[in-house]
Homo-oligomer: A and B are copies of this chain.
Amino acid sequence: MRKSKFVSIYNDLSEKIHQKKIDAGALLPTENELCAQYQASRETIRKALAMLSRNGYIQKVQGKGSIVLDVSRQNFPISGLTSFRELAAHSKRQWTTNVHQVVLLKPDEHLKMVMNLQDGQTVWQVVRSRSTEGESVILDRDYLIQEVVPLLTADQCAHSLYDYIENELGLKIGFAKKEITVEPANEDDYHYLTMHEGTHVVVVRSLVYLENAQLFQYTESRHRADKFRFVDFARRDHM
């Protein structure tokens, strides 16, 4: 068994909820019944349920049970750490990626500060745009610390950076901090994006860290405002 038991149970239950084998509004089997079904202890079941709860699949009510939520109109949360690849896979649109630049460079002062870089550290700069229906609507500018990612080719960037980083290099991504703002479009936006109406773009700045808490990537993702949409599921903490 590669994965842990509670993750398998989580996957199985979330699948069933997606496939509507369990209706929204209905109750899941009780924890004890699930223990029997999956041959697991109650603690293991509860870990799987906590994960379902965090991700918006169920609502737990003490003394009652776990209510299945309507996940159909949830429209794939952009929250979490889903890469563009994963996102595009869930979307109905056809997307294409254009790689404009893959270069190794010495960071300027601003980037050194943002990424908290040491003297002598170099970074890969990757500039890509994403198009759908003949229009270029997203401009991504990634900076990756070379010590972590020694080599990078345009080919890898055209496919999926995260695939390469996680599967080829074996690095594991831990967490990210994101900030979303709206800013006036700059020269590059007008150059790389298909801008018609509107002079503003949505800017998503992310700092991405590995599992050992080491920062390894900074990304500035610029979206044509009318194509931008962010969906979030938020739970009042405690538990």
Contacts and interface: CB of A to CB of B under 8 A. Distances in A.
Contact of A200 (B74, B80, B225, B234): B225
A165 interface: no
A237 B80 contact: yes
Number of this chain's copies in the assembly equals: 2
A228 interface: yes
B233 A175 contact: yes
Contacts of A236: 80-81, 172-175
B61 A237 contact: no
How extensive is the interface on chain A, given as a class?
A: 35 or more
A50 to B, nearest CB: 9
Contacts of A69: 213
A205 to B, nearest CB: 10
A182 B211 contact: no
A154 interface: no
B234 A79 contact: yes
A229 interface: yes
B235 A81 contact: yes
Contacts of A67: 212-213
14 contacts: A59-B209, A59-B211, A61-B211, A74-B177, A81-B234, A174-B235, A175-B233, A177-B232, A178-B232, A178-B234, A179-B229, A181-B228, A182-B200, A182-B225
Contact of A59 (B200, B212, B234): B212
Given A59-B212, A179-B230, 13 more contacts: A7-B238, A54-B237, A61-B212, A172-B236, A175-B233, A175-B234, A175-B235, A177-B232, A177-B233, A178-B231, A180-B231, A182-B182, A182-B228
